[in-house]
Amino acid sequence: MRRRAIRGLYTGTVVLAAAAGLLWTAPGGAVAEEGAERPARSGGTCVTCHLELEEPELREPALGFGQDVHDRDGLGCVACHGGDPTAEDADEAMDPARGFTGSPSVREIPILCGSCHGDEAFIKKFSPNLPTDQLAQYRTSIHGERVLGGDAKAATCISCHGVHGILRANDSRSPVYPTRVVETCARCHADAELMGSYGIPADQVEKYRRSVHYEALTRKHDLSAPTCNDCHGSHGATPPGVSSISNVCGACHLQNAELFRDSPHAPVFREQEMGACEACHGNHEILPPDDGWVGVEEGTVCGGCHEAGDPGGKVAVLLRNALEEAVEVSRRAREEVAGAERAGMLMEEAEIALQEAHDEVVKARLAVHAVSVDAVEAHTGVSRKAAARALELAEAARREITVRRRGLLVASAFIFLAIVLLILKIRQIERPGG
């Protein structure tokens, strides 16, 4: 009887979670990667009984809960499922008269989690800095709205955080750790069949993985690089509208946003309801920017709207020319400086000038967002001067190398002549009668 009752409870849980796409089996989910065999400490007879069961779907939650942040804080099974964790008999432990509620429905999950996480007095006992507005945010999200409307496939708390084995967000094994967020979102948003039922593309994750943001996050280990929830929100997840994407980008790219707001593009984009940043950079597949984007040739970004003869096209050509000229002067100067350094010359002053030239080119590329030839040339002009100074220093070093080589040649000739004369003198002395 006890085994049948327990099996009925957890079979219901598994079916519910699987139907909603919520059963978490990845790292940080039901069974954590590290220390997965440590049983829960706060589960009482719930854990004791489930550890005796052979069925994985009944036994693993008891093992996984041993890694759960709630277990570590002393909040056992009863905190979510109710019942009596001191009862030895399963029927008594799961008696509704003792508060047993069983497995919550999809619609009940946010409310259940929010009953603790929205209680400031309660939650501060365990984590003083943990926000208590997650439920309020979730209810405004597209996920929350769908769940409230009866959609059992929409994401709830356990879709992202897991079920038994919930880890702290700053734990690198957690499914909501920055480097794992995209995998978590991909479980639904890369599912073409599931997304197709909502009329949503399923290629966002694939595109994001080709972006500069993903490369910075995963290859350069820059945890400040944006992932899904940085742009869409976490608990209050919602797709940003066309009018707000630029505000999302501008939260990090502040200077770019300010330059664009004062540019001639800004009012035109507003009038035509075009997205600012994504019109040129895209949204998920944001590739490394390149000077080749500027111009009116085929494949350029500017050429998508402008032609060579119109005012915008002429500006684009001037911007491209200014950038290319500055980059070319810097390239020649760097080659000359490198040659002098290989010859053994100290070129510290030239290296400083080259760095200044590079920095000004970077500023010029930033100034492109102002769509102003004067703003760009204000920096490319400084860059050219700095590169020219480095080039002059390199040429002076080359002349110095020539002078040194000539002096070395003359000195070598004198030394050779002195050696010859010395040898002749020695031979003269060594002759008989010398």
Confidence of residue 274 (pLDDT cuts 50, 70, 90): confident
Residue percentage of the chain with pLDDT more than 90: 59
User: How far is it, in rounded angstroms, from Cα 324 to Cα 3?
Assistant: 75
User: How far is it, in rounded angstroms, from Cα 330 to Cα 385?
Assistant: 10
Token output for 227? 């992932």
User: How far is it, in rounded angstroms, from Cα 291 to Cα 192?
Assistant: 35
Q: pLDDT at residue 189 above 60?
A: yes
Instruction: Please write the tens of the pLDDT for every residue from 127-164.
Output: 888 899 999 999 999 999 999 999 999 999 999 999 98
Q: pLDDT at residue 433 above 70?
A: no
Instruction: Please write the tens of the pLDDT for every residue from 413-432.
Output: 999 999 999 998 888 888 87
Token output for 215? 């490369």
pLDDT at 90: 86
pLDDT at 62: 84
Residue 113: phi and psi, rounded to 5, are -65, -40
Token output for 60? 């693993």
pLDDT at 37: 54
Q: pLDDT at residue 349 above 90?
A: yes
User: How far is it, in rounded angstroms, from Cα 306 to Cα 301?
Assistant: 9
Over residues 375-397, mean pLDDT:
96
The CB-based long-range contact list for 395-404 (8 Å cut-off, 24+ gap) reads 395/336, 397/340, 397/343, 397/345, 397/347, 397/350, 398/336, 398/339, 398/340, 400/345, 401/340, 401/343, 401/345
User: How far is it, in rounded angstroms, from Cα 293 to Cα 312?
Assistant: 14
User: How far is it, in rounded angstroms, from Cα 135 to Cα 157?
Assistant: 9
**226-230, 278-282, 323-327, 332-336: which has the minimum mean pLDDT?**
278-282
Instruction: Please write the tens of the pLDDT for every residue from 37-70.
Output: 566 666 788 888 888 888 888 888 888 888 899 9
Instruction: Please write the tens of the pLDDT for every residue from 330-348.
Output: 999 999 999 999 998 999 9
User: How far is it, in rounded angstroms, from Cα 141 to Cα 234?
Assistant: 9
**91-100, 225-234, 286-295, 391-400: which has the minimum mean pLDDT?**
91-100
Over residues 284-291, mean pLDDT:
92
Average pLDDT, the chain: 87
pLDDT at 309: 87
Buried b (16+ CB within 10 A) or exposed e, 199-234: eeebebbebbbebebbeebeeeeeeebbbbbbbbbb
**232-241, 258-267, 300-309, 394-403: which has the minimum mean pLDDT?**
232-241
Contacts of 235 (CB under 8 A, 6+ apart): 133, 134, 135, 137, 138, 141
Q: What is the pTM of this model?
A: 0.77
Over residues 324-333, mean pLDDT:
96
Where exactly are the structural domains of the chain? 2-176, 189-238, 240-287, 311-405
pLDDT at 52: 86
